[in-house]
């Protein structure tokens, strides 16, 4: 399936003419920063057997976007199902392209990073610490990097991330 791509300029024009912009990123990413006109519909929260209805008509125009365009590209079939029977488009380059074009975004006050970025920072810090400590303190410290690596593999296979669960309970991540 190949849903047509629109540049940020084309999206801006279509929004003026009544198009709807749907942000498929996670809710935490949307809360951190989003395009003012965008509605948050996280693709990961949509159950394939119970598709969400956006209550659109065939003459409507719906544009989906994510951060870089990779998630919308990977989920084209789900976007098409979600947007049917309207005309469906994807924002080429996602929110990064939108910002590069100089268009405004809404940023959260306080600037809490999205949870997955926090996980990446924490995992990277632990791996680097384990490697440095293993090289300078004790070879046993390499285990820290190995354990984090196993956790990342497990999260990738199962979709369940223990580190994300722990980080989500921290005070700055509670909404």
Neighbours of 31 (CB within 10 A): 16
Backbone angles phi, psi at 10, to 5 degrees: -65, -40
Catalytic member of 66, 79, 141, 161: 66
* Cα-trace Rg, the chain: 19
Active site residue 150: no
End-to-end alpha carbon distance in the chain:
37
Tokens standing for residue 3: 């849903």
Q: Are 84 and 51 in contact (CB under 8 A)?
A: no
Neighbours of 36 (CB within 10 A): 10
List Cβ neighbours of 5 (8 Å cut-off, separation of 6 or more): 69, 89, 90, 91, 92
Instruction: Provide the annotated active-site residues.
Output: 66
């Amino acid at each position: 399936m190949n849903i047509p791509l629109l540049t940020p300029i084309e999206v801006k024009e279509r929004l003026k003419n009544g198009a709807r912009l749907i942000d498929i990123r996670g809710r935490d990413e949307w809360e951190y920063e989003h395009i003012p006109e965008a509605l948050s519909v996280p693709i990961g929260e949509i159950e394939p057997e119970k598709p969400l209805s956006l209550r659109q008509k065939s003459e409507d125009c719906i544009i989906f976007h994510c951060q870089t365009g990779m998630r919308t590209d990977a989920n084209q079939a789900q976007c098409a199902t979600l947007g049917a029977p309207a005309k469906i488009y994807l924002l080429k380059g996602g929110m990064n392209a939108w910002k590069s074009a100089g268009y405004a975004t809404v940023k959260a006050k306080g600037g809490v990073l999205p949870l997955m970025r926090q996980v990446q920072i924490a995992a990277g810090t632990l791996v680097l610490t384990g490697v440095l400590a293993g090289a300078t303190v004790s070879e046993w410290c390499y285990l820290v990097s190995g354990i984090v690596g196993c956790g990342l593999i497990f999260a990738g296979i199962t979709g369940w991330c223990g580190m994300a669960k722990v980080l989500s309970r921290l005070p700055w991540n509670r909404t």
